[in-house]
Structure 1
Amino acid sequence: MTDHLPQRVRVERRLVDESESRRANGPDWDRYADEYQATHGEFLGDIGFVWGPEGFTEAEAGVLGDLAGRDVLEVGSGAGQCSRWVRSQGGRGYGLDLSLRQLQHSRRIDEATGVAVPSVLGTATALPFRAESFDIVFSSFGALQFVNDIDVAVAEVARVLRPGGRFGFSITHPTRWSFPDDPGEGGLTATSSYWDRTPYVEVDDATGRVAYVEHHRTLGDWVGLLASAGFRLTDLLEPQWPEGHDRVWGGWSALRGKFTPGSAIFGATLL
């Protein structure tokens, strides 16, 4: 769930590879982590599992199933809020994130709450765990939108899951890519093709380096990726914006939420 545009950047739509995406997004999240946690930490909760800006929780969704006694990996765990909630439900939650600064915030919250989430620095395309280590893998607006080699990332999830394991993740709803990332009236008019999968790229004008990358896949792309990795899709949720929820988060807002879904939540089982 991104809501920042650094100063002195220009926006482009162009191809980037996995290494360029990773070099941009790791340092970007390190720079942004303090602001992100200060702005959104209360909404997320130190021990809370929110799937997206709508505030839809895993307690309401039930995408991951029974957590008690399960080994659970969060990919793109940030400060570990979701994994901490998993532990509060009896699961053994573990975290992985590309940003060291986010993991430092996770350690801070571990100490403040007394609920510790063992976490590692790593990337979704090379999970540092042996095969069949987990019963559940999930990502709440985490790494998947920032990965170029998404087929590798989904295959890695399948590799570390035990047979019959669950995979759940939330992303910006793919239809949102047709619209400007604007919480106001400007965000209600489509300006680009839903089928244009060219990545969104921010380039630092001062250095010419790619500073941030986000990748787009259609709903059909995601279904195909899951099927090709041996998953059976069980859930596709599109939470409505709740009445009275007036929070603005980047391009998410009550105004846009009246007309178009902002998040998509997938649930799948490894066959």
Structure 2
Amino acid sequence: MSLPSRPGTGLPLGSDGYPAAGGVARRPAGQEESARANRRWWDAAAPAYLAEHGTDLGDADFLWCPEGLREADAGLLGEVAGRRVVEIGCGSAPCARWLARQGAHVVALDLSGGMLARAADLNRATGTAVPLLQGDAGRLPLATASMDLACSAYGGLPFVADARAVLAEVARVLRPGGRFVASVNHPMRWPFPDSPDPEDLQITSSYFDRQPYVETDGAGRTVYVEHHRTVGDWVRAVVGAGLVLGDLVEPEWTAGRTQNWGQWSPERGALVPGTLILVCDKPG
């Protein structure tokens, strides 16, 4: 029996509404392969992803991570009112709309047309219309030194093959004295199975194996790519882009939060970190 596919993507969907993987491997995958696969995957997965996580993300809220840390409480970006901000990997753009409601001048960028279509719907539904751009994080369609702030909440960075190129682009579009804050999968999640159960916290692969996680369809075509970097890799990428690393935040699980999110859970979150947040400034 053939599986249904999302129109325009050609990707068969599983019973959960997400693209069905025919195979999984750890192997090299370059930037073009990663971008092409992930654009199609997110176009196909957008309805299922937002049906599962949309309530938690909100329509105009800034959630940094599955642990429940929100910008309203953390203030990692500092003062945003009146600032020019680009959100990289905005998805349905709830963070961008939250920033706009705080008085920021925001542009929201994503690789996926499917996600941006939902963002446009929510712009209309909420009455908070932020400008939307479709583009690659490694080639930002923005002028040099045109932004005061840049942010990315699990958007783009885990899915690009060349994180240094993305950070160099971020540094280019930031004005001197600007700030970039990004949340990514904590590198410590990679050696463990993708399970929320703390009983599964057994090392099954090497922390130092930087080969990406790759899913393929039944014909062997790449449909999803996620890249792993160590903590040291992230630090070197930030410094190599000419940014100053001001903080590395490892959010603890928010008290009273009960939502599981993939391998993130209250039980697992009490034991090991699941998110790393990079707080970076451009000298000037």
Which interval holds the TM-score relative to the shorter structure? Answer: over 0.9
Partner of 1:18: 31
Matches of 1:137 and 1:154 in 2, distance apart?
A: 11
Paired with 1:38 and 1:4, the residues of 2 have a C-alpha distance of: 10
Rounded Cα–Cα distance in structure 2 between residues aligned with 1:229 and 1:262: 25
- Report percent identity of matched pairs: 49
Once residues 82 and 24 of structure 1 are traced to their aligned partners in structure 2, the CA distance between those partners, rounded to angstroms, is: 25
RMSD (Å), alpha carbons? 1.4
Deviations 1:18-55 (A, max 9, x none): 00001100000000001111111111111100001111
Find the counterpart in structure 2 of residue 203 from structure 1.
216
The CA deviation string for residues 148-204 of structure 1, in whole angstroms up to 9 with x for no partner, is: 011111100011110111000001111111101111245311111111111000011
Instruction: Please tell me whether the aligned partners of residues 66 and 261 of structure 2 are also in contact (alpha carbons under 8 angstroms).
Output: yes
- Whether the 8 Å contact between 1:187 and 1:256 is mirrored in structure 2 is no
Partner of 1:226, secondary structure, is: helix
Match of 2:235 in 1: 223
Q: Which residue of 1 is the match for residue 147 of structure 2?
A: 134
> Given the superposition, is the C-alpha separation of residues 8 and 184 from structure 1 closer, same or farther in structure 2, using an over 3 Å criterion?
same
Does the 8 Å contact 1:75/1:124 carry over to 2?
yes
Q: 1:236 aligns with which of 236, 245, 248?
A: 248
Shift of 1:60: 1.6
Matches of 1:119 and 1:190, distance apart in 2: 41
Alignment deviations for residues 191-231 of structure 1 (CA, whole Å, 9 cap, x no partner): 11111111000011x22100100001111111111111111
State whether residues 51 and 141 of structure 1, in contact with CA within 8 Å, keep that contact through their aligned partners in structure 2. yes
Say whether the 8 Å CA contact 1:63–1:235 is kept in structure 2: no
The answer to whether residue 99 in structure 2 is matched with residue 104 in structure 1 is: no
Q: CA 1:4 to 1:216, structure 2 compared with 1: closer, same or farther past 3 Å?
A: farther
Equivalenced residues, count: 268
State the SS of the aligned residue for 1:162.
Answer: strand
How far, CA to CA, are the matches of 2:141 and 2:106 in structure 1?
15
Amino acid at match of 2:50: Q
Cα distance in 1 for residues equivalent to 2:71 and 2:245: 17
Alignment deviations for residues 65-98 of structure 1 (CA, whole Å, 9 cap, x no partner): 1001000000000111001000111101111101
Residue matched to 1:265: 277
**Equivalents in 2 of 1:191, 1:95: separation in Å?**
37
Instruction: Note the 1:1-271 alignment, pairs <5 A.
Output: 6-185=19-198, 187-204=200-217, 206-271=218-283
CA distance in 2, matches of 1:28, 1:238: 28
Q: What SS does the corresponding residue of 1:178 show, helix, strand or coil?
A: coil
Q: Give the distance between the partners of 1:187 and 1:21, measured in 2 at CA.
A: 29
**Partners of 1:51 and 1:90 in 2: CA distance:** 19
TM-score normalized by structure 2? 0.92
Kindly indicate whether the alpha-carbon contact (under 8 Å) linking 1:187 and 1:251 is maintained by their aligned counterparts in 2: no
The TM-score normalised by the length of structure 1 is: 0.96
Name the CA distance, whole Å, in 1 between partners of 2:250 and 2:195: 19
Alpha-carbon shift at residue 248 of structure 1 (Å): 1.1
Displacement of 1:243 in angstroms is 3.0
Contact 1:180/1:186 (<8 A) preserved: no
Query: C-alpha separation between the residues in 2 aligned to 1:140 and 1:158?
Result: 17
Instruction: Decide whether aligned partners of structure 1 residues 55 and 237 sit closer, same or farther in structure 2, where only a CA change above 3 A counts.
Output: same
